[in-house]
Amino acid sequence: MNNKWVDGFSRSLIQHAARTAPASLSERLEEEWSADFAERSGQLARLRFAVGCCWATRVIAHEYLEPKVVAATAAGPTTGSKVMSAFAQPDYSFLSRRTTAFVLIIGLHAVIIYGFATGLGHKVKDLISLPIDARVWDAPKRVDLPPELPPPPKLTRTIIEVPPTETKFEVDKSGLQEVVMAPPTESQGSGTAEPPPHLVNRVSGGPGKSFPNTDDYYPAPEIRMEHQGLVTVRVCTDDKGRLTAAPTLAETSGYPGLDQGALKLAQAGSGRYRAATEDGRPVSSCYPFRVRFQYKN
């Protein structure tokens, strides 16, 4: 930015500000501000000083106007014309209100025409309009509480202590060892010597050592109602102890909640079953086992 140009512009601003001040102060302010302007160093400081003088003119003119209006008003009711003439001060702003409004209207029209001509309206519309984000939320699943819940046995009791259960599993030991007769051969009855029967040592499967704890699957409502019982679940496992089919209920305990708890326990234990063996070799098999839910105070 050219220094001379800034100086000249600043001086012009000061002169303009001083000349638009009230007439009685105009000459004084112009000389005073010019003298103080000369003491300022730096282009930016001088420009700031000049702009500040423009603002000072507006403030001074406003304060200068007030006493005149008050004096004219205090003169009496017949001096309406004096009051009006007191208000009739020159406009100290750069542009009159009418000119400012006219410029604003012209500018607004220019912007609108420019928007239509360049398609700016579509761009603005695209910017403003957000994509519709339609989300369908699944309704929360309704949890059916057990019918006719009796009141808690003791209202003052706040902590429910789940008692440890005793024997959890009772594996059906009936099939622990079986003797399977080998099928008869064609040579039977022919009078030849029969080969000795082939004995297969079969051990039934069951819950392994790291099987889940029954307490973790004892349904809380059943505990509150002090329900207990024995559930027989039938499972089919492979040679790794993993479930090959969903567990089924072989014998109910009489309480649906306990039955469901046992089925969940059987399902959770997949991979932790002890596979059945035949001659020590793990094989796939199906077998029942029992889960006991026992409530203790």
- Residues of this chain that interact with other proteins (CB under 8 A) are 25, 28-29, 31-36, 38-40, 48-49, 51-56, 59-60, 63-64
Nearer to other proteins, 32 or 170 (CB): 32
Report in angstroms how near the CB of residue 67 gets to other proteins at its nearest.
9
Pairing label, strands 229-237, 248-251: antiparallel
Report in angstroms how near the CB of residue 68 gets to other proteins at its nearest.
11
Report in angstroms how near the CB of residue 114 gets to other proteins at its nearest.
35
First-to-final CA distance of the chain: 93
d(CA 268, CA 262): 10
d(CA 86, CA 80): 10
Nearer to other proteins, 55 or 116 (CB): 55
Report in angstroms how near the CB of residue 61 gets to other proteins at its nearest.
10
Nearer to other proteins, 6 or 243 (CB): 6
| Number of other CB atoms surrounding residue 155 within 10 Å | 7
Report in angstroms how near the CB of residue 76 gets to other proteins at its nearest.
21
Nearer to other proteins, 21 or 266 (CB): 21
How many whole angstroms from its chain centre is CA 263? 35
Report in angstroms how near the CB of residue 55 gets to other proteins at its nearest.
3
Q: Which helix (H) or strand (E) holds 237?
A: strand 229-237
How far is CA 9 from each of CA 3, 91, 200, rounded to the nearest angstrom?
A: 10, 22, 114
Report in angstroms how near the CB of residue 21 gets to other proteins at its nearest.
10
Nearer to other proteins, 36 or 216 (CB): 36
Q: Which helix (H) or strand (E) holds 233?
A: strand 229-237
DSSP character string of 46-110: HHHHHHHHHHHHHHHHHHHHHHHHHHHHHT-TT-HHHHHHHH-PPP-SSS-HHHHHHHHHHHHHH
Nearer to other proteins, 86 or 233 (CB): 86
d(CA 288, CA 273): 12
Nearer to other proteins, 13 or 263 (CB): 13
